Every structure is written in C-alpha cells, then in structure tokens.
Chains A and B, each alone.
Chain A
Amino acid sequence: MSERRLMEGSEALAEACIAAGCRFFAGYPMTPFTELLEHMARRLPEEGGVCVNAESEIEAIGMAWGALATGVRAATGSTGQGLSLMQESLAEITLARLPLVVFNMARGGSDYFQATRGGGHGDYRHIVLAPMDINEGVELTQLAFHLADKWRNPVLVYGDYLLSHTYEAVDVSPLDFGDGRPAKDWAVDGRRDPRAKLVTMLGFNKHGEESPGMAQGMERHFQAAVEHTAAMERGEPALVDVGFCDDADVVVVAFGTLAKFVRYVVRQLRADGHRVGYVRPITLWPFPSEAVAAATKGARAVAVLENSGGQMIDDVRLAVLGRAPVEFIGGISTDSSGFGVGDLLDTEVVRARIEAVLASVVASEGAPA
C-alpha cells in the first residue's frame, strides 16, 4: 500500500512485514504483541501468505523455522516473557543460519539484555533494531527482513506497548535497500535439485558434501558461528541518532520510544540555554559504541535513561570507558497491569531527571552547564 493513512502501530508493523514480502507468520497472543498477530492473521491470507495462531510460543517459532527452511521470508514475535519460552529455538535457529525476523513487543525496556546478549545458550547474537516511533518502526521492520537475508541471521525488532497501540499517519511503501535479495539455494523444496539439501543447526552436510574441516565437528561449527558474529559486528553499520553533543556537558543516552521523549526534552533544554545533548542507539546490537564514545568525549556526565533496572547502561559504560561518570536516571515504569505505559514516559518527568544531572554537574564543577 502506498497511501498515507492513520493506523495503529501494530497494524503498521504488520503492513511493513507484508511490504517486505513476509509470507509466513506465527504467534501466540500476549499483550502487547497480540494486535500484531491479529493484523497478520487478517492481512497475510489476503496476500497469499499464511498466518498461524500457534498453540504455544515454542510452536510458533517452530513453524516459522519450517517456513524459513523453504526459503520464504517469515517472522514471529511475542513479549519478552514469550521470547523467554522460545530461547532454545532462538539460539539454535541462529546456528541453522535461518533469516528469522522476531518482534519483541516488550513490556518495558527490561528485555535489553535478552535481546542484545541473546537469552539462549551459547555464543550467538541477533541484530537488534529499536524504533522510537511507528514511522521508524515501518522502516526498521523492512530493514530487518533485508538484514536477516543479508547475513542469514535472525534480526530482532524491539517494540513496546506505546509503539503497538499509538496511532500515527503512516505510508507503508516497500523500501528498496539496493542489494537485491540473495538467492536461497540452501532452501528445501522437496525436489533435491540439484541434490538433497540439509537445513541444520548441527554443523554437518549431506554425505558426499563434507568438507575436510568437518572432521573437527562441533568445535569447528561453533567457532565458525563465532566468526560469523564477529563479521556481522564489523560489517553491519550500527545505526544511531545523535543530537546536540558537540558542546554538551551532559549527554543523555536512551533507546526506543522513551528516547523520543528525551529528544523532545533535550531540544526544550537547549532552547533554555542548557548544554545538553542526546545519543539514541537505533541498532542495539551491534551497539554504536564508537558513536557513543565520540558523542560523550567532551561530556562532564553521561546520563542513561531506560525503562528498566539498567541494562543498556552496561554498554554505555563500556563505550565511555571511564572518560566521564555514567549515571542511571531511569527505572521501572509501567501501568497497573504491568503491560503498558507508566509515568516515566512523560516529558516533565524526563526533564526533571535530566535537570537533576545538569544541576549536579554545576554543583561539582562550579560553571553553569
């Protein structure tokens, strides 16, 4: 679809999946992921695809696994809790080199570690994209399918309740990322053409196609996966949005929908003469460490605002590497149900927290910030 129209975030993400050519989706209802499943269930069959309301989260990712093995674009998702159930499959589907797109419509920011470290076993990483609003979500969803195919690796889109349930005017036209789509000659179609295929996470090939290195078996296989992760980290540019950092005394780091509030407040504070800036990682893995380091090199304090107990702050600390104090100004914030939006997502609350950091910098250094 190419006309701009008002739609709920979940619907926009569903349309973005369809614009990207997703042909299979499976999921299990769970707030605030449920509407994405509803929209896919309604729209995918209209586009000749299949959406299954799976009987469990583990079965949902299993079905997506099977669909991916046939070479189609496929996705699943849940909340962080549902992704917890899927972790064995998320770890192993990565070893199987399948291009899964997975949505975490999260209940807050506390799934940052799960997303960026991988909540499953072993050494693996997924590329993680965190949109701040629906329009960005539509772009990043399509980018997710593109990157998943490019790297033959799962890509996670980190959303939340606000993203899922807000309405924006959106144009969901298909985006072209220029590289075209890689041929999937590894995919199965039943025809053994030119020979039988094996889609596996166990590291071996069909008899007759074994390479000399396979004598080392699983060690070689796991090491190759580690090298692949390193290649992704080196080769995939980490998207980041940086503002007003050149002369900032205080730099605020935030991701996702909460970061949109930070951007707004930083502009307000700048208008009032404060030397404050922001860094908004868009790619959470690979983390934009260089951009964070560069943006904070002149700062007197770095403040990290997250809707969690503090997880991304670890990556910020690693990037800043002691050049400035890094302070956590976030916290858990949710509504009475535990699914939704709490008091932290409020420009006045965010402003007050950043102002407190600004004041402390003045107090310690004596010069106005």
Chain B
Amino acid sequence: MTDHPGTHLVAPLKPELFLTTEHHLCPGCGEPVATRIVTEVLCELAQQRSAVCVLGIGCYTAFARMLDIDTVQALHGRAPSVATGVKRMLPDVSVFTLQGDGDMVNEGLQEVLHTAARGENVTAILLNNGVFGETGGHMTATSVIGQRTKTSLDGRDAEYHGHPIRIADLVARLDGAGYVARGSVHSAGAVAKTKKMIRAAFECQVERRGFSLVEVLTMCPTGWFVPTADGPDYMEQTLGQIHVMGELKVARAGR
C-alpha cells in the first residue's frame, strides 16, 4: 500500500549505483549483499561521481557490467596493483577493489600485502566465503579446518592441507595499513555493522591515512553444501570462529 497518504520511500528496489539488479549468482549468496553496501556507502559519502572499482575474478566479476561505477577489470589476484596504477593517476578519486578470498588470499597474497605495506590510499573489499566459488567450490587459503570443499572432501586437515590465513590480521600488522576491519552479511545487524566499517574504510582513503581493507564474510551455501537458509548459521559456526569480526586497526591521522 504505497499509495497510502504520508508514505515515504526508505530504500528503492534498484540501488542508485546499479544499472541492473538481475544476476545469476546462487540463491543465498552474500556477495551481492556486500556489494550493495559498498555502493550505499559511496552514495552517502557523495563519491558516486568520483569512484573507480577494480574487480578481481570470481563470481562477483558479474558485477562489472551491473555497477554504475567506472570499472577496471583485473586478472585473478591482481586488483591491488591495478588499483595502485589508477590511484596514482587519479589521486582524488575513491579507488576500491572487489575481490574474493581465492583471488586476494591465494593468487594475490603478495599484491595485497605489498599494496598495504606501501600505504596506497585505496580500499580493498574482500568477499570471503572460504571457497573458490566460480570454479565450483574449492578450498582456498581462508577455508577453515574441518571445512568440506571439493578439494577437501573429508574436511580441511591441518596436517595435510595446512592452516587458513587470517588475512585481515596479517594486513593490520603492516605500517602502511590505515584501517582494517572484518565484518559479515549473515544478518541485518551484521550488515549494519559492516556498512559502518566500509564507511570508515573509505573515510580512511579520503583522509589519506593509508591502505584500508574490509574483509566481509559472505555466505556461499553452494560451496558449503548447505541449504540457503542455513548459510548464516554455518558461517557463524565455522568461518566466523576463525575469521573473527571486528575492527583490527584504526590508524590516526598524521601517521
């Protein structure tokens, strides 16, 4: 009953920075949720006409054509260096990467660490679902012990497969990092908290306090072999226990 007198719009069907919202990502996928939050933050900070997105390769690559944001597509793992080149030439534009865990923490581990160490004033958004989603659900460097994936069918085993990397914790230890946080999108409350983190990250960029990273845990019921409705609980009980939510680094201005 939107024609009721005294009705105002809280949020539209199609967010401002989406050209289309139709996509083929799985039911229950957290990646579109996280991406929408990023675009909402850009609008709140009035950066719609001053933003460049550098996309990695994964399921979220589909967003390249969907986002009403100037976009550069990078190779798997390589978004941080591409973002560096963009930012050095466009220092007043908000430059951010959108990468999955396979992209950033497997293939691109050195890129994100070097870009953070260098203190590049770019914002990296990590969509961490603990699997290589696009290839069908394989183990990544962030998959947790016990997690079943297509390449760890009996569950990740510390002795055979090794341990997961807590990338936000690693990056937070680098002097060039200005803001590092880990959030998630498994509930409305988590979405609200994560949105604040993403906003703080972009503010860090605008204020040139160094590299900013927000790792966002996203659901992948397909990769996790769970029904869509169980995605949030699965995340809390597995990934969420190792990749712990919270702000990890908040550097002050003038560092």
Contacts from A to B (Cβ < 8 Å): 23-24, 26, 50, 52, 54-56, 58-70, 72, 74, 88-89, 92, 96, 188-193, 195-202, 204-208, 210
Contact B64 A74 (CB under 8 A): no
Question: Per DSSP, are chain B's interface residues mostly helix, strand or loop, or mixed?
Answer: mixed
B residues less than 8 Å from A199 (CB atoms)? 71-73
Contact A63 B84 (CB under 8 A): yes
Q: Does B20 contact A (CB under 8 A)?
A: yes
Q: Does B193 contact A (CB under 8 A)?
A: no
Shortest beta-carbon distance, A363 to chain B, in Å? 56
- How far apart are the CA atoms of A62 and B86 in the complex, in Å? 10
A residues less than 8 Å from B49 (CB atoms)? 190-193
B61-116 residues at the A interface, CB under 8 angstroms:
61, 64-75, 78, 80-90, 93-94, 110-111, 114
Q: Does B51 contact A (CB under 8 A)?
A: yes
- How far apart are the CA atoms of A206 and B110 in the complex, in Å? 30
Contact A62 B74 (CB under 8 A): yes
Q: Does B19 contact A (CB under 8 A)?
A: yes
B residues less than 8 Å from A72 (CB atoms)? 89
Shortest beta-carbon distance, B103 to chain A, in Å? 13
Contact B88 A50 (CB under 8 A): yes
- Cβ contact of B19, chosen from A52, A69, A197, A207, cutoff 8 A: A207
Contact A74 B85 (CB under 8 A): yes
The 10 closest A-B pairs by CB, nearest first: A66-B85, A62-B81, A190-B93, A200-B73, A188-B70, A67-B85, A66-B82, A63-B85, A66-B86, A207-B19
Contact A62 B65 (CB under 8 A): no
* 7 extra interface residue pairs, beta carbon distance < 8 Å, beyond A62-B80, A63-B85, A66-B84: A52-B88, A54-B81, A56-B114, A59-B114, A66-B82, A88-B75, A210-B65
Q: Does B151 contact A (CB under 8 A)?
A: no
Contacts from B to A (Cβ < 8 Å): 19-20, 48-52, 54, 61, 64-75, 78, 80-90, 93-94, 110-111, 114
- How far apart are the CA atoms of A26 and B52 in the complex, in Å? 21
- Cβ contact of B75, chosen from A74, A89, A191, cutoff 8 A: A89
- Cβ contact of B64, chosen from A62, A64, A189, A204, cutoff 8 A: A204
A199 to B, closest residue via Cβ: B72
Contact A69 B110 (CB under 8 A): no
A residues less than 8 Å from B114 (CB atoms)? 55-56, 59
A191-B49, A191-B70, A202-B73 known; A89 vs B78 contact (CB < 8 Å): yes
A residues less than 8 Å from B89 (CB atoms)? 23-24, 50, 66-67, 70, 72
Q: Name which of B50, B82, B83, B111 has the most chain A CB atoms within 10 A of its CB.
A: B82
- Cβ contact of B90, chosen from A68, A70, A200, cutoff 8 A: A70
B residues less than 8 Å from A74 (CB atoms)? 85
Contact B90 A62 (CB under 8 A): no
A residues less than 8 Å from B110 (CB atoms)? 55-56, 59
- Cβ contact of B69, chosen from A24, A65, A192, cutoff 8 A: A192
Contact B70 A192 (CB under 8 A): yes
B88 to A, closest residue via Cβ: A50
Contact B65 A205 (CB under 8 A): yes
B residues less than 8 Å from A190 (CB atoms)? 49-52, 70, 90, 93-94
B residues less than 8 Å from A200 (CB atoms)? 64, 71-73
**25 A-B Cβ contacts within 8 A?**
A24-B85, A24-B89, A56-B114, A58-B81, A62-B78, A62-B84, A63-B84, A65-B72, A69-B72, A72-B89, A188-B70, A189-B70, A190-B50, A190-B94, A196-B68, A196-B70, A196-B71, A198-B65, A198-B71, A198-B73, A200-B71, A204-B65, A207-B19, A207-B20, A208-B20
B residues less than 8 Å from A192 (CB atoms)? 48-49, 68-70
A201 to B, closest residue via Cβ: B73
- How far apart are the CA atoms of A155 and B44 in the complex, in Å? 42
Contact B64 A188 (CB under 8 A): no
Shortest beta-carbon distance, A73 to chain B, in Å? 11
Contact B90 A26 (CB under 8 A): no
B57 to A, closest residue via Cβ: A202
- How far apart are the CA atoms of A189 and B93 in the complex, in Å? 8
B residues less than 8 Å from A202 (CB atoms)? 61, 64, 73
- How far apart are the CA atoms of A60 and B52 in the complex, in Å? 20
B residues less than 8 Å from A59 (CB atoms)? 78, 80-81, 84, 110-111, 114
Contact A65 B65 (CB under 8 A): no
B residues less than 8 Å from A206 (CB atoms)? 19, 64-65, 68, 71
Shortest beta-carbon distance, B44 to chain A, in Å? 17
A residues less than 8 Å from B88 (CB atoms)? 24, 50, 52, 63, 66-67
A residues less than 8 Å from B82 (CB atoms)? 62-63, 65-66, 69
B residues less than 8 Å from A60 (CB atoms)? 81
B77 to A, closest residue via Cβ: A58
Contact A68 B85 (CB under 8 A): yes
Shortest beta-carbon distance, A325 to chain B, in Å? 45
- How far apart are the CA atoms of A192 and B49 in the complex, in Å? 6
Shortest beta-carbon distance, B223 to chain A, in Å? 22
Q: Name which of A66, A191, A192, A201 has the most chain B CB atoms within 10 A of its CB.
A: A66
Shortest beta-carbon distance, B109 to chain A, in Å? 12
A residues less than 8 Å from B64 (CB atoms)? 198, 200, 202, 204, 206
Shortest beta-carbon distance, A40 to chain B, in Å? 14
- How far apart are the CA atoms of A146 and B66 in the complex, in Å? 34
Contact A70 B86 (CB under 8 A): yes
A residues less than 8 Å from B50 (CB atoms)? 190-191
